[in-house]
């Protein structure tokens, strides 16, 4: 069995969509450190996420649910929903502050 050599595959093209700059920069830093991933863009609100996904055609979008202008759920629907001719894969993430 032959295994692919490192760097022989096309990297996974990632679009990071997160309104909190510190979190967004963290994701970009982590993904950029991976040899098999390439961050092709960033968006800080849902509308910008939809526009960037259509323009950049990433392999996967990392989408925060809670974002301004257009929430991540609706942005995901516009990027990967049943009415989208060529849907993009979306990984939905979120954080919640909960005091118990």
* Among 56, 77, 32, CA closest to 92: 77
How confident is the prediction for the chain on average, in pLDDT? 90
Q: How confident is the model at residue 1 (pLDDT cuts 50, 70, 90)?
A: very low
Q: What is the pLDDT of residue 95?
A: 76
The secondary structure of residue 87, as a DSSP letter, is P
Domains and CATH numbers, the chain: 12-93 (3.40.50.2300)
Q: φ, ψ for residue 60 (rounded to 5)? A: -145, 145
Q: What is the pLDDT of residue 8?
A: 63
Of the CA atoms within 13 Å of residue 25, those in its CB half-sphere come to 3
Calculate mean pLDDT across residues 43-61. 97
């Amino acid at each position: 069995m032959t295994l692919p050599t490192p760097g022989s595959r096309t990297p996974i093209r990632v679009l990071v969509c997160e309104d909190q700059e510190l979190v967004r920069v963290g994701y970009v830093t982590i993904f950029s450190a991976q040899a098999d991933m390439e961050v092709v863009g960033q968006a800080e609100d849902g509308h910008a996420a939809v526009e960037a996904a259509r323009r950049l055609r990433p392999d996967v979008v990392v989408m925060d649910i809670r974002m301004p202008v257009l929430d991540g759920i609706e942005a995901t629907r516009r990027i990967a929903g049943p009415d989208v001719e060529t849907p993009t894969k979306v990984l939905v993430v979120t954080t919640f502050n909960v005091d118990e």
